[in-house]
């Protein structure tokens, strides 16, 4: 596995997303079995970064992740768990309470990376960061970050965060360059902040251009793997694809080994 090294941290270039694990907006017990199988297979294949949120499956994604980790016997300290506080919980006490509940559901003593999931219209960022900084001081979370923050909010967060802000998690893929256009990616690079690319393969609906297919064929890889390889070849970018399909889970982590040439990178970037 390749890693991004920053602020004394080593974070895998490819992690495992958990949106739809255990349900969508609400828990759906019918999905428990395939959700556990997907998580278990990811752990076995060597994924060590797992991205979840209190919002996912109404907290059930965190529960399934915690249970599967414990059952796998894999040591907690070898893993890196990211979770997120929901936009409706951004007041001081709500943040502390939400974090406590995430810790309980995950069954861990500390969260490696805790993010504000989305900005909310009426949020008071100073108040939210007062709570987040307290969580970091108390050791409930190790590192802090944000998600879906534009450049202005990212800069404000960086100023309010008492520890180095580790990431801004945003949509980024071959087809979605909105956070390149709005200056966030460049700012992240200049300020040692990771851009965590979500929906890296367009929620499974990747548009396969002729160039993408040709590059995939040349590497004996799938276009999905090339889309991931293109992302992780970029400095300060990591990603967190999700899949229930065991073959896809394997292909996604193996994409880290694909070396794209400068010419292939250019074709994909400009395509
Ligand atoms: N911060 C935020 O606001 C936010 C928003 C969205 C997502 N996220 C995070 O980012 C993660 C990734 O985003 P996402 O899950 O929405 O979208 P995604 O990873 O772009 O796509 C997931 C879909 O792609 C399919 N897929 C996965 N690997 C594949 C492969 N190798 N070949 C073909 N199809 C493949 C999966 O279907 P199969 O199951 O059939 O493989 C699944 O339907 C989420 O799980 C979540 O953790 C964060």
- Cα 132 from Cα 85, distance rounded (Å): 10
Residue 178: the pLDDT is: 98
From residue 206, give the alpha-carbon distance in Å to each of 50, 83, 222, 251, 264: 22, 26, 11, 15, 18
7: left (phi over 0), alpha (psi -120 to 50) or beta: left
Residues 6+ apart with CB under 8 A from 122: none
Measuring from atom 22 of ligand 1, which residue has the nearest CA?
203
239 vs 54: CA distance, rounded Å: 19
Q: Return the bridge partners of 239, or none.
A: 14, 197
| Distance from Cα 124 to the centre of ligand 1, integer Å | 31
Strand partners, 5: 10
Q: What is the pLDDT of residues 56-85, one digit of tens each?
A: 999 999 999 999 999 999 999 999 999 999
Contact 67, 32 (CB under 8 A): no
**Terminal-to-terminal C-alpha distance of the chain:** 27
Q: Which helix (H) or strand (E) holds 105?
A: helix 92-106
State how beta strands 3-6 and 9-12 pair: antiparallel
CA of 56 to the centre of ligand 1 (A): 13
Q: In the beta sheet, which residues pair with residue 141? A: 111
Q: Spell out which residues line ligand 1, taking CB within 6 angstroms.
A: 17-19, 51, 117, 147-148, 169, 198-204, 222, 224, 240-245, 248, 251-252
Helix axes 246-254, 32-45, angle to 10 degrees: 30
Q: Which helix (H) or strand (E) holds 62?
A: helix 60-72
- Please identify every residue annotated as catalytic: 56
Does residue 115 contact residue 83 with C-beta atoms inside 8 Å? yes
What's the average model confidence in pLDDT over 247-270?
98
- Ligand 1 mean position to 144 CA, how many Å? 23
Mutate to test the pocket of ligand 1, among 116, 174, 199, 256 (most ligand atoms within 8 A of CB): 199
Look up tokens 């500390």; give the residue.
110
Q: 154, 204, 207: which to mutate for ligand 1, most atoms within 8 A of CB?
A: 204
The pLDDT value given to residue 271 = 85
**Among the atoms of ligand 1, which is closest to the Cα of residue 205?**
24
User: How far does the centroid of ligand 1 lie from the alpha carbon of residue 52, in Å?
Assistant: 12
Task: Report the chain's mean pLDDT, rounded to a whole number.
Answer: 97
Which amino acid residue places its CA nearest to atom 24 of ligand 1?
A: 204
- Give the mean pLDDT of 86-91: 98
The residue contributing the CA closest to ligand 1 atom 8 is 198
Ligand 1 centre from 205 Cα, in Å? Answer: 10
Q: Which residue has 């596995």 as its token pair?
A: 1
Which residue has the CA at smallest separation from atom 37 of ligand 1? 243
171-230 pLDDT tens trace: 999 999 999 999 999 999 999 999 999 999 999 999 999 999 999 999 999 999 999 999
- In testing the pocket of ligand 1, which one of 47, 173, 198 has its CB within 8 Å of the most ligand atoms? 198
> pLDDT tens digits for 116-160?
999 999 999 999 999 999 999 999 999 999 999 999 999 999 999
- Rounded alpha-carbon distances, angstroms, from residue 43 to 33, 74, 137, 177, 253: 15, 8, 30, 30, 11
Return the sign of the alpha-carbon dihedral for residues 208, 212, 218, 221: negative
Atom of ligand 1 nearest to the CA of 244: 39
| Nearest residue (CA) to ligand 1, atom 5 | 198
Query: Are the C-beta atoms of residues 66 and 101 closer than 8 Å to each other?
Result: no
Residue 212 has a pLDDT of 98
Ligand 1 geometric centre to CA of 172 (Å): 12
């Amino acid at each position: 596995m390749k890693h991004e090294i920053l602020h004394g941290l080593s974070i895998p270039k490819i992690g495992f997303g958990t949106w739809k694990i255990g349900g969508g907006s609400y828990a759906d017990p019918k999905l428990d079995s395939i959700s556990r199988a997907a998580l278990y297979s990811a752990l076995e294949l060597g994924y060590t970064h797992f991205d979840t949120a209190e919002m996912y499956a109404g907290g059930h994604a965190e529960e399934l992740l915690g249970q599967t980790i414990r059952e796998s016997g894999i040591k907690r300290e070898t893993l890196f768990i990211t979770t997120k506080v929901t936009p409706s919980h951004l007041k001081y006490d709500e943040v502390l309470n939400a974090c406590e509940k995430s810790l309980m559901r995950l069954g861990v003593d500390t969260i490696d990376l805790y993010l504000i999931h989305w900005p909310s219209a009426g949020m008071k960022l100073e108040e939210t960061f007062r709570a987040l900084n307290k969580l970091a001081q108390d050791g409930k979370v190790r590192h802090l970050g944000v998600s879906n923050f534009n450049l202005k909010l990212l800069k404000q967060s960086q100023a309010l965060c008492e520890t180095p802000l580790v990431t801004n998690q945003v949509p980024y893929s071959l087809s979605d360059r909105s956070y390149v256009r709005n200056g966030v990616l460049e700012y992240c690079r200049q300020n040692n902040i990771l851009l965590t690319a979500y929906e890296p393969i367009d929620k499974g609906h990747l548009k396969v251009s002729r160039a993408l297919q040709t590059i995939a064929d040349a590497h004996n890889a799938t276009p999905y793997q090339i889309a991931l390889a293109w992302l992780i070849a970029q400095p300060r970018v990591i990603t967190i694809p999700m899949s229930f399909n065991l073959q896809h889970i394997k292909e996604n982590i193996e994409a880290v080994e694909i070396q794209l040439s400068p010419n292939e990178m250019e074709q994909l970037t400009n395509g």
